[in-house]
Structure 1
Amino acid sequence: MTEATGVKPARTYDRVLLKISGEALMGNQGYGLHPPTVTRIAEEVKSVHDLGVEICMVIGGGNIFRGLAGSAQGMERTTADYMGMLATVMNALAMQSALETIGVYTRVISAIPMDQVCEPYIRRRAVRHLEKKRVCIFAAGTGNPYFTTDTAATLRASEMSCQAIFKGTKVDGVYDKDPVKHEDARRYDKISYDEVLQQHLGVMDASAIALARDNKLPIVVFSLDEPGGFRGILAGRGTYTLVHP
């Protein structure tokens, strides 16, 4: 990949979905929410929103509760997954608060109705929010157990006619092996959906990758810890991996 030069943004996407893990919100803590980290991510979102890009988000709940982990410890799987969905609502409300504090109108939209704290998911209403330049945060996954927030992100991105999914992680792209454990790990500039599935690279779960492939929805994997990384990619700069047809 050749890094672009110049200062004028060369925006290539008009509507995107940002997928981040719940763990991204806990900073250096081992659990829960770290308000300064939530604020930093909100500022990253605002910097892209200021370019005129329509943004929706899906945030995991692993910093509070992970359904699969609860199931592994003996909890009934369906109950554990619903608890994980509720954790994503808590994270979405935290991000909404951070975004609105810095002047970005935001709507939390839940797949599980809870009218007192957020809106129910209605596709046409969500599209209208995006058209009005409001950030939409989709919470509670798909509303069904056994589906991850990765799959929920791909589903919502497809329904909203997003042009790409931006997957914010702790590393600056997709590697052939864990770069934290292996110094010789090689980063891919571009890789196909099928190669991700065949090599078990763990970008997203297999259902999410297959759904993205079926809808020809590109996935941009980048480092959420890199200041200005989200905006930089939309401006034609930065390091990332593009998962594409």
Structure 2
Amino acid sequence: MQEGNQAGPAFGRVLLKISGEALMGEESFGIKPEVLSYVAHELQVAHELGVQIGVVLGGGNIFRGVSKSAQSMDRVQADYMGMLATVMNSLALQDALEQKGISVRVMTAVQMPQVAEPYIRRRAVRHLEKGRVVIMAAGTGNPYFSTDTAAALRAEEIGAEVLLKATKVDGIYESDPVKDPNANKLEALTYDEVLLRKLRVMDLTAISLAGENQLPIVVFDLRKPGNIKRVLMGEPIGSRVEV
């Protein structure tokens, strides 16, 4: 990871993971138009840097396979419903970005050709090389795997230099900062430290996959305007997980 004092971006290609909950703002469900527009603007600013951007969205604002509403359901069925929720979020973000004049492709792990392109790694890379934002939806296409794991997997597949985890907090803490105002922020950790301390950064499968492939992770606050650009420029914000 490069320092932030160079003239251009620190990264050429990145994978940005955004939770579905981030799109609902302070609402309890769905997509808040103002938040969607804000996220699209932040991505527009980042895209103008010339960085190739892949995006994976969660679906927790609509449906999550491990949510309370899914407890009585078959887990596989519920996870597929969660995948469809990520597709809905991806189409919404695609529309918001296209309204700002950005070329976007939504690619899905579950085939639905009337809605989006099927995810094919080489095609995704080609879209990125042509300057398009690529939104990769429907997780890995398999139940029991979270969108965090999908993000780590897609980041490796497309050759991203870093996995950016955009959240509602400004980094990784020893405990939940919402519940514990005295929680200490951890600015730099190794993958092993995250696993051993069971920190709630991403799920353990995602952390393990990133660690095995030495894929850096940066966790930062999406709600602060300009943060995506700051991360791309190599500024030391949020928390980093590296070797």
Query: Any unmatched runs of 5+ in structure 2?
Result: none
Distance in 2 (alpha carbons) for counterparts of 1:237 and 1:207:
28
Distance in 1 (alpha carbons) for counterparts of 2:156 and 2:150:
10
Check conservation: 1:64, 1:87, Cα contact below 8 A: yes
Pairwise mapping of residues 66-77 of structure 1 onto structure 2 (< 5 A)?
Answer: 66-69=64-67, 73-77=71-75
C-alpha displacement of 1:217: 0.3
Give the letter for the 2:117 counterpart.
E
C-alpha displacement of 1:9: 4.4
Give the letter for the 1:215 counterpart.
N
C-alpha displacement of 1:36: 1.1
Counterpart secondary structure, 2:220: strand
Distance in 2 (alpha carbons) for counterparts of 1:127 and 1:211:
20
Query: Any unmatched runs of 5+ in structure 1?
Result: none
Check conservation: 1:108, 1:139, Cα contact below 8 A: yes
Distance in 2 (alpha carbons) for counterparts of 1:87 and 1:70:
16
1:79 aligns to what? Answer: 77
Distance in 2 (alpha carbons) for counterparts of 1:111 and 1:24:
22
Distance in 1 (alpha carbons) for counterparts of 2:34 and 2:7:
28
Check conservation: 2:70, 2:78, Cα contact below 8 A: no
1:147 aligns to what? Answer: 145
TM-score by length of 2: 0.95
Q: Deviations over 1:121-167 (max 9, x none)?
A: 11111100000010000000000000000000000000000000000
Counterpart secondary structure, 1:19: strand
C-alpha displacement of 1:75: 0.3
Check conservation: 1:31, 1:64, Cα contact below 8 A: yes
Give the letter for the 1:166 counterpart.
L
1:101 aligns to what? Answer: 99
Q: Deviations over 1:107-133 (max 9, x none)?
A: 000000000010001111110000001
Distance in 1 (alpha carbons) for counterparts of 2:86 and 2:182:
35
C-alpha displacement of 1:85: 0.2
Of 185, 188, 205, 1:187 maps to 185
Distance in 2 (alpha carbons) for counterparts of 1:35 and 1:9:
34
Counterpart secondary structure, 2:25: coil
TM-score by length of 1: 0.95
Check conservation: 1:81, 1:145, Cα contact below 8 A: yes
Of 166, 169, 180, 2:167 maps to 169
Check conservation: 2:11, 2:233, Cα contact below 8 A: no
Check conservation: 1:71, 1:80, Cα contact below 8 A: no
Counterpart secondary structure, 2:37: helix
Distance in 2 (alpha carbons) for counterparts of 1:33 and 1:43:
16
Distance in 1 (alpha carbons) for counterparts of 2:82 and 2:51:
30
Check conservation: 2:106, 2:117, Cα contact below 8 A: yes
Check conservation: 1:174, 1:187, Cα contact below 8 A: yes
Matched-pair identity in %: 56
Structure 1 segments of 4+ aligned residues over 4 angstroms from their partners: none
